[in-house]
């Protein structure tokens, strides 16, 4: 079985998929796709994903898009370890925390949005950076309140979907100098994840092209 991930090393969404693939122990071939160079906008790439975004996962003869949809497929296709609990209430809680990041924080901080603020609206870089930090801080404040400090992960005793979303967003927060001392539970969980090999192998610095 050939599994190919069209990937940009600094993309948060790609980072999530890399973590999930590693947690599931699914070997994959990386197809680096530079967002800076616009490689995702070529005709050949659009033929696979008309949205012209990464990640794109080729698996089982399919072209899968959207990181959470890809991870959901992987969780169904490779059930162990599970990334979402079976209990409906626990599953809903886990999804809510994951979507807080993937649907509320990340979309308004991604490269397309930041580029539009600069190119089309003429916003200076300090204002764009302030925008970035504001939305991370607002989301993290809510997530800190939702997180259970008695468990090592947002997923409970094992990492789950919410942790897969958290770790890339924490990396972004550090890049943009968001003060993290306000979120001790999240910092602790991020550190617990960083101690795990599947998370370390997925980190941007581990996959950055030479």
- Residue 209: what pLDDT? 87
Question: Residue 159, Cβ neighbours under 10 Å: how many?
Answer: 24
Please report which confidence band the pLDDT of residue 173 belongs to, taking 50, 70 and 90 as the band edges. Answer: very high
Q: Are residues 118 and 181 in the same domain?
A: yes
What is the model's pTM?
Answer: 0.95
The 8-class DSSP code of residue 156 comes to B
Confidence band for 99, pLDDT divided at 50, 70 and 90? very high
Residue with tokens 């530079």: 34
Q: Residue 167: which CATH number?
A: 1.20.1050.10
The stretch 35-59 carries a mean pLDDT of 94
Neighbours of 43 (CB within 10 A): 6
* Best CA proximity match to 140, nearest among 112, 177, 104: 104
Q: What is the mean pLDDT of residues 88-113?
A: 95
Residue 19 belongs to domain spanning: 4-81
Instruction: Tell how far CA 191 is from the center of its chain.
Output: 16
Q: What is the pLDDT of residues 113-144, one digit of tens each?
A: 999 999 999 999 999 999 999 999 999 999 99
pLDDT of amino acid 40: 94
Residues 74 and 159 in one domain: no
* 3-class secondary-structure state, position 63: strand
Same domain, 46 and 120: no
| Residue 186: Cβ-neighbour burial (10 angstroms; 0-12, 13-18, 19+) | buried
Statement: residue 188 has pLDDT above 90 = yes
The answer to whether residues 93 and 194 belong to one domain is yes
DSSP SS3 for 47? helix
Q: Record the tokens describing residue 41, joined without a space.
A: 């906008």
Q: Are residues 38 and 116 in the same domain?
A: no
Domain count, the chain: 2
CATH number, residue 76:
3.40.30.10
């Amino acid at each position: 079985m050939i599994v190919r991930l069209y990937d940009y090393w600094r993309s948060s969404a790609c980072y999530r998929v890399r973590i999930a693939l590693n947690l599931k122990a699914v070997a994959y071939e990386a197809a680096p796709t530079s967002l800076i160079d616009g490689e995702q906008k070529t005709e050949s790439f659009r033929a696979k994903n008309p949205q012209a975004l990464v990640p794109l996962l080729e698996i089982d003869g399919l072209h899968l898009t959207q990181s959470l949809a890809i991870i959901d497929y992987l969780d169904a296709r490779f059930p162990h370890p599970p990334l979402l609990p079976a209990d409906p209430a626990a599953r809903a809680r886990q999804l809510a925390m994951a979507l807080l990041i993937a649907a509320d924080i990340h979309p308004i901080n991604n490269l397309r949005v930041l580029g539009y603020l600069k190119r089309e609206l003429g916003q200076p870089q300090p204002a764009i950076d302030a925008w970035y930090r504001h939305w991370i801080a607002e989301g993290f404040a809510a997530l800190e309140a939702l997180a259970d400090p008695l468990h090592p992960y947002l997923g409970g005793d094992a990492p789950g979907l919410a942790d897969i979303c958290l770790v890339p967003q924490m990396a972004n927060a550090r890049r943009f100098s968001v003060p993290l001392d306000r979120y001790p539970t999240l910092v602790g969980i991020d550190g617990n994840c960083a101690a795990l090999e599947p998370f370390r192998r997925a980190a941007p610095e581990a996959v950055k092209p030479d």
